[in-house]
């Protein structure tokens, strides 16, 4: 039996009637940008995330970039980022003219290792950007403690963690502000590009609101050189429908992750660590093994699609040649060993068992 990695067509079709109604509302309203759907979604997602302000923007990269700009971070500043993340975390910093300073992850959690942060702080450091990678929340308490001592801003990259909890609190409301993405494959995904900023800081929310709309709050008055990065009405309407099922979809992801973890314990694979609080939302289920390439090929021959998140860390990318002499051994090792197994709320038990059986066969052959 073939198993896709993430079948968005099948998953989203569960919501067909609600999505059709959302489309009809926008079609009938005649307002396609900055209207009632966006306003409603911002309120609903802020409430869900337990923060006072949500500002919809064009995508996750813009959410992070606009936040850094709102905090006045730019040329000559340094921002601490994980060495193992999707490139957008680094690019947001670079696009503001600041310098990404990589810190290695904890090899077991794959999230920023708080014990390595202090060594990376210089007089130019302005912010720390922890990423809640794969839907597991970074260890925020020590990160906030360090930030407090050094007067740094903490901006969460919450693109992979919609709905995740840390000690009972929602990801996205744990730092000073957060940027999130509603790229279609995320746990809360739009039908195209979309993103949002979350914060309890009214002044920062206002700045982002201005920056996303050409630096303007009064039409044709531009007090800043802003961007065009707005969350369209259509996506806001779709996201309102999808927000209703986010918790139940995340619960289904948890069930699948538990099945994988229980069944694959004896295989010799390094399995993802579950957070103590059980608040993980399993955006991805990422295993690690030195035999990664052979395992991926074996699974592909059985029709099981897996993905590597991510095959090359940012400091090894062509756009960051200035980092090419730097060695970040944990990020480099993980990039050579990680493999994401199929993960989606609509995976059937038969599909999950098919994946489990195939992984076991690989290690028994
Ligand atoms: C998806 C993602 C982003 C960027 O989101 P886009 O909406 O694609 O711009 C940023 N950071 C992380 C960790 C992501 O996974």
306: pLDDT strictly greater than 90: yes
- Mean pLDDT of all residues in the chain? 97
Whether 188 shows a pLDDT value over 80: the answer reads yes
**88 close to ligand 1 (CB < 6 Angstrom):** yes
Taking residues 109-125, report their average pLDDT.
97
89 close to ligand 1 (CB < 6 Angstrom): yes
Residue by residue, DSSP assigns 162-222 as TT-EETTEETTSSSSEEEEE--TTSSS--SS--EEEEES-HHHHHHHHHHHBTT-SSTT--
Residue nearest to atom 7 of ligand 1 (CA): 60
Per-domain residue ranges of the chain = 8-243, 247-364
* Backbone phi and psi for residue 128, each to the nearest 5 degrees, phi listed first: -120, 135
Q: Provide the pLDDT confidence category of residue 365 given band limits of 50, 70 and 90.
A: confident
Task: For residue 258, report the phi and psi dihedrals to the nearest 5 degrees.
Answer: -65, -40
Atom of ligand 1 nearest to the CA of 92: 10
Q: CA distances (Å), 317 to each of 310, 314, 323, in order?
A: 11, 5, 9
CATH architecture assignment, domain 247-364? Alpha-Beta Complex (3.90)
Is it the case that residue 275 has pLDDT exceeding 90? Answer: no
pTM for the complete prediction?
A: 0.97
Residue linked to tokens 């079948």 = 7
Q: Tell me the fold of 8-243.
A: 3.40.640
362 Cα–ligand 1 center, Å: 32
Asked if residue 75 lies in contact with residue 54, where contact means CB atoms within 8 angstroms, the answer is no
CB 181 near ligand 1, within 6 Å: yes
Average pLDDT on 74-94 reads: 98
pLDDT, tens digit, 9 for 90 and up, residues 199-220:
999 999 999 999 999 999 899 9
Q: With a 6 A CB cut-off, is 96 part of the ligand 1 pocket?
A: no
277 pLDDT band (50/70/90 cuts)? confident
Q: Which two tokens stand for residue 9?
A: 């067509």
**For a pocket test of ligand 1, which of 183, 197, 340 has the largest count of ligand atoms closer than 8 A to its C-beta?**
183
- Ligand 1 touching residue 159 (CB < 6 A): yes
* Mean pLDDT along residues 253-265: 97
> Is the shortest distance between the CB of 92 and ligand 1 below 6 Å?
no
Rounded to 10 degrees, the C-alpha dihedral 173/128/89/327 comes to -140
Under the banding of pLDDT at 50, 70 and 90, the label for residue 51 is very high
278 pLDDT band (50/70/90 cuts)?
confident
């Amino acid at each position: 039996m073939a198993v896709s990695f993430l079948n968005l067509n099948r998953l989203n079709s569960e919501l067909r009637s609600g999505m059709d109604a959302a489309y009809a509302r926008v079609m009938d309203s005649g307002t396609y940008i900055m209207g009632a759907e966006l306003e409603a979604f911002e309120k609903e997602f802020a409430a869900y995330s337990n923060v006072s302000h949500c500002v919809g923007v064009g995508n996750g990269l813009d959410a992070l970039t606009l936040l850094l700009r709102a905090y006045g971070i730019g040329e000559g500043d340094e921002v601490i980022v994980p060495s193992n993340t999707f490139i957008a975390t680094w690019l947001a910093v670079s696009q503001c003219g600041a310098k990404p300073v990589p810190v290695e992850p904890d090899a077991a959690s794959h999230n920023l290792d708080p014990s390595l942060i202090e060594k990376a702080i210089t007089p130019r450091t302005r912010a720390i950007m922890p990423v809640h990678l794969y839907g597991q929340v970074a260890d925020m308490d020590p990160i906030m403690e360090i930030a407090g001592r050094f007067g740094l801003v903490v901006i969460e990259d919450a693109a992979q963690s919609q709905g995740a909890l840390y000690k009972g609190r929602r990801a996205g409301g744990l730092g000073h502000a957060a940027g999130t993405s509603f790229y279609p494959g995320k746990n809360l995904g739009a039908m195209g590009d979309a993103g949002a900023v979350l914060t309890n800081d009214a002044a920062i929310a206002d700045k982002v609101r201005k920056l996303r709309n050409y630096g303007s709050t009064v039409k044709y008055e531009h007090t800043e050189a802003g961007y065009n990065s707005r969350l369209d009405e259509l996506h806001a309407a779709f996201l309102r429908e999808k927000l209703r099922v986010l918790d139940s979809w995340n619960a289904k992801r948890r069930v699948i992750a538990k099945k994988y973890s229980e069944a694959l314990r004896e295989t010799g694979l390094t399995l993802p660590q579950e957070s103590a609080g059980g608040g993980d939302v399993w955006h991805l289920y990422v295993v690690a093994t030195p035999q990664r390439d052979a395992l991926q090929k074996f699974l592909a021959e059985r029709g099981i699609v897996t993905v590597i998140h991510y095959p090359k860390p940012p400091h090894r990318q062509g756009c960051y040649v200035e980092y090419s002499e730097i060695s970040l051994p944990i990020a480099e090792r993980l990039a050579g060993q990680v493999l994401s197994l199929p993960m989606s709320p609509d995976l059937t038990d038969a599909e999950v068992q098919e994946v489990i059986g195939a992984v076991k066969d690989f290690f028994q052959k």
